[in-house]
Chain A
Amino acid sequence: DAKTTQPPSMDCAEGRAANLPCNHSTISGNEYVYWYRQIHSQGPQYIIHGLKNNETNEMASLIITEDRKSSTLILPHATLRDTAVYYCIVRAAHYNQGGKLIFGQGTELSVKP
Chain B
Amino acid sequence: AQSVTQPDIHITVSEGASLELRCNYSYGATPYLFWYVQSPGQGLQLLLKYFSGDTLVQGIKGFEAEFKRSQSSFNLRKPSVHWSDAAEYFCAVVYPNAGGTSYGKLTFGQGTILTVHP
B is bound to A: no
Which residues of chain B have a CB within 8 Å of any CB of chain A? none
Which residues of chain A have a CB within 8 Å of any CB of chain B? none
